[in-house]
A and B are shown apart, each in its own frame.
Chain A
């Protein structure tokens, strides 16, 4: 059985391994600094479909297929697909698996979904429910804009703290079969609300949740930032990442050069004019499966903390003046 460590962290007793992973990103992401990292770059924002929602669904299928191919697996080998996205009722996720006949758990964790889905998949392997389980997530700039913000062609201005939703989907398959990347520990975050109401400053809303989770994790495990090669937050962006550094340092954890944020890695904010950086479920998903895991596989990285962060508001709650609660889930990946 897995062992609970402290009050938030779970350490897997058996090796839960990353079998394979896949991703697909949009054209704009494919022009960013990580362009060489992705499996598939799609130039058509509709991905050959009629709507952005269908495109996002197809992206999830494509990312999962890419992971299955790399792991030499068939869809029927999976015992569980845990996935989520940003659209109302998580339609990209449920629609993408409707022809699969594989048990499915739909998740909503906003942009924390990559870590959340991998946590659920890993737990299902550990407890014996699955031999192989997949964690999948996606976000699409166009489908998110139309649901959360303004029409694409509307000529409005955005603030410097605003982030751009990443068009990407990522899938990760875990199982007990031996590989050289292990899901060693996971930590589940609680919902933290520091009363930020500006929906254009989600990094600031999410940073306290990220600090809360990482501090709990360090306390639970007795480790410190210097024990890791890399500590990554999901999509705090420029403002959130800077707040994260400040707050963590105040709690006694100086992140130095070990820390980075997926939202800052995926775009070149100056060149691509992406203001504070990338956001969306696909942001941390694409960076994890495109950048981090290949480096763990090659041995360049050995011990990584990956923490996806989610802002849990809705347009209705925002319009009613509610603040933005946030959550962060953490995974400790180790390589050999």
Chain B
């Protein structure tokens, strides 16, 4: 086969090593699971200490966000993410990491155009499409309730 512009894409795909998907999935499963276990432990502890369900639903995310932010600031979360991938990006700690890492990175450009403007460069799309998805969900839920 002669390598040319038209078959190059196919050839490059053969030459390029794939990500170790199974290994990555296993790591993501355990790290993501561990973060959830920590979340559950915090929840159970709060309930044990007498907090109501409404308060617990606020306290647990606050603590997880704090931990995600702290580990980002200490330079640990990116090392975790390198191995865990989606396992540490998807939980709320990963959301905190995306905001805090952007804020830290762009502090040099000032608090307004740096931190303020760049803080949500990664998290922004997640928020936008999260809200859009919940609107669609709400709409479907509303229709279903009317019909049935």
Taking Cβ atoms with an 8 Å cutoff, the residues of A that contact B are 50-51, 146, 150-161, 194-196, 201, 204, 208, 239, 242-243, 246-247, 250
- A208–B8 contact, CB under 8 A? yes
- A155–B81 contact, CB under 8 A? yes
Q: Which residues of A contact B89 (CB under 8 A)?
A: 155-156
Measured between C-beta atoms, what is the minimum distance from A28 to chain B in Å? 14
Given known A-B contacts A157-B24, A157-B82, A151 and B105 have beta carbons under 8 A apart: yes
Q: Is B112 close to A, CB under 8 A?
A: no
B 1-21 contacts with A by CB, 8 A: 2-3, 5, 8-9, 11-12, 15-20
B 68-114 contacts with A by CB, 8 A: 72-73, 75, 77-82, 84-85, 88-89, 94, 97-98, 100-102, 104-106, 108
- B9–A195 contact, CB under 8 A? yes
Q: Is B122 close to A, CB under 8 A?
A: yes
Query: How many residues of B are in contact with the other chain, CB < 8 A?
Result: 38
Contact of B15 among A152, A155, A204 (CB under 8 A): A204
Residue of B nearest to A242 (CB): B15
Given known A-B contacts A161-B16, A242-B15, A243-B15, A153 and B72 have beta carbons under 8 A apart: yes
Given known A-B contacts A204-B16, A239-B17, A152 and B81 have beta carbons under 8 A apart: no
Q: Which residues of B contact A242 (CB under 8 A)?
A: 15
Measured between C-beta atoms, what is the minimum distance from B44 to chain A in Å? 26
Residue of A nearest to B80 (CB): A155
- B8–A155 contact, CB under 8 A? no
- B5–A195 contact, CB under 8 A? yes
- B12–A201 contact, CB under 8 A? yes
10 closest A-B pairs (Cβ-Cβ)?
A155-B81, A151-B105, A153-B101, A151-B101, A154-B101, A157-B85, A160-B17, A204-B12, A194-B8, A155-B78
Main SS of chain B's interface residues?
helix
Give bound CA distance, A204 to B94, whole Å: 31
Q: Which residues of A contact B98 (CB under 8 A)?
A: 154
- B5–A239 contact, CB under 8 A? no
Contact of A146 among B2, B12, B80, B105 (CB under 8 A): B105
Q: Which residues of B contact A158 (CB under 8 A)?
A: 82
Residue of A nearest to B20 (CB): A160
How many cross-chain pairs have Cβ atoms below 8 Å apart between A and B?
94
Measured between C-beta atoms, what is the minimum distance from B104 to chain A in Å? 6
Residue of B nearest to A273 (CB): B82
- A196–B105 contact, CB under 8 A? no
Measured between C-beta atoms, what is the minimum distance from B113 to chain A in Å? 14
Residue of A nearest to B82 (CB): A157
Q: Which residues of B contact A201 (CB under 8 A)?
A: 12, 16
Give bound CA distance, A153 to B38, whole Å: 22
Contact of B18 among A160, A195, A196, A247 (CB under 8 A): A160
Give bound CA distance, A146 to B94, whole Å: 19
- A153–B3 contact, CB under 8 A? no
Interface pairs (9), CB distance under 8 Å: A152-B101, A153-B77, A153-B78, A153-B97, A153-B101, A156-B78, A242-B15, A243-B3, A243-B11
Q: Which residues of B contact A208 (CB under 8 A)?
A: 5, 8
Given known A-B contacts A194-B8, A195-B8, A153 and B100 have beta carbons under 8 A apart: yes
Contact of A153 among B5, B9, B88, B104 (CB under 8 A): B104
Q: Which residues of B contact A196 (CB under 8 A)?
A: 8-9, 12
Q: Which residues of A contact B24 (CB under 8 A)?
A: 157
- A159–B19 contact, CB under 8 A? yes
Binary CB contact string for chain B from 39 to 68 against chain A (1 if under 8 A, 0 otherwise): 000000000000000000000000000000
Measured between C-beta atoms, what is the minimum distance from B143 to chain A in Å? 36
- A151–B108 contact, CB under 8 A? no
- A247–B105 contact, CB under 8 A? no
- B105–A153 contact, CB under 8 A? yes
- A250–B3 contact, CB under 8 A? yes
- B101–A161 contact, CB under 8 A? no
